[in-house]
Amino acid sequence: MAMVCLSDFEAYAKKYLPKIAWDYFAAGADDCTTRDENILAYKRIRFRPRMLRNVSVMDIRTKILGMEISFPVGIAPTGFHQLAWPDGEKSTARAARAMNTCYIASTYSTCTLEEISAAAPGGLRWFQLYVHRNRAASQQLVQRAEALGFQGLVLTADLPYTGKRRDDVRNGFRLPPHMKLKNLEQAFEVCKMSPLDPSVTWNDIYWLRSLTRLPIIIKGILTREDAELAVRHGVQGIIVSNHGGRQLDEGPATIDALVEVVEAVRGRVEVYVDGGIRKGSDVLKALALGAKCVFIGRPALWGLAYKGEEGLQDVLRILQDEFRLSMALAGCASVSEIGQHLVQFSKL
């Protein structure tokens, strides 16, 4: 089967992954309204393409926190990559390095930070942190990541408790016995009581800043008020995210929330977005509305499920080619020419 677009990888993953793994990756919270809205919201945005603009030479590179990436698509933090492919996050790291883009490794990786780092030396990697009740374990993780050369710390802010994902409840989801949360097993075992710390507040950003010199990016911001608080607390970046629709259902689609957040920060920090990106034209829409870069979650897992590192590279390459083509057809020869003038919201 020719893999032409990201939905081809989705269909493959749905067909071949074990049902419990597919359901875990696909799950949204409650009615999955927000999960689905993340995708639908992109369809309400229309382009205003410009003509006769000389797009014979294209430059799709950009920089995030001063580091150049080959195009403005990175890999969002998602857990349990070994459910999709035996090599798990090691394959993800290798694919990101091969495509010269950023991979955000999850606290809930099924490979250790050391394994991820060794798999793709020199790759651009950030580490995503859930703050746990065992603060010493969280501190140790942050310091391990920095020592291993991770270049950013991504604090996930939208998970004081895990959202209700019905299929996971029905399936009694748990990791197979041979898989472990490799970065946490020395500190504690995942138990009946959630190890996540629901008492985390904005003041904990100061605590994190006392532990590391890494830039801090906060993930899970959806409102103007929280965007302003993020800037005030000295973060270097914001990822507009609703956790793929897996937390609070019936919140805003991320592409809709992006506009509010970008207006609030007024260029003081970089703003990124994840959730619902399925085509290169979606990437162009997100950049037009002020995102510096987008991050993909589920599509990266579909790529892994298809052919591991090679499959994930295929997913990234398709997005890269579609993004380049969309830019050219919209009349932009470089990322610096993308702006809000390129889009309008549909009246429908």
* Binding-site residue ranges: 24, 77-79, 106, 128, 130, 156, 165, 219, 241, 243, 246, 274-278, 297-298
Rg (CA), the chain: 19
Task: Provide the annotated binding site for FMN.
Answer: 77-79, 106, 128, 130, 156, 219, 241, 274-278, 297-298
Give the span between the Cα atoms of 231 and 71, in whole angstroms. Answer: 26
Give the span between the Cα atoms of 223 and 21, in whole angstroms. Answer: 32
Contact 64, 293 (CB under 8 A): yes
Q: Which residues, 6 or more positions from 170, have their beta carbon under 8 angstroms from its beta carbon?
A: none
Q: Which residues, 6 or more positions from 158, have their beta carbon under 8 angstroms from its beta carbon?
A: 219, 220, 241, 242, 243, 247, 248
Angle, alpha carbons 286-89-78 (nearest 5°): 45
243 is catalytic: yes
Task: Using CA atoms of 12, 18, 21, 22 in order, give the dihedral in degrees to the nearest 10.
Answer: 40
Contact 227, 272 (CB under 8 A): no
* DSSP string covering 213-231: -S-EEEEEE-SHHHHHHHH
Q: In this structure, what token pair is assigned to residue 2?
A: 């020719």
Place of tokens 């991504």: 154
Contact 28, 244 (CB under 8 A): yes
Query: Which residue out of 178, 233, 243, 341 is catalytically annotated?
Result: 243
Q: Return the active site residues.
A: 243
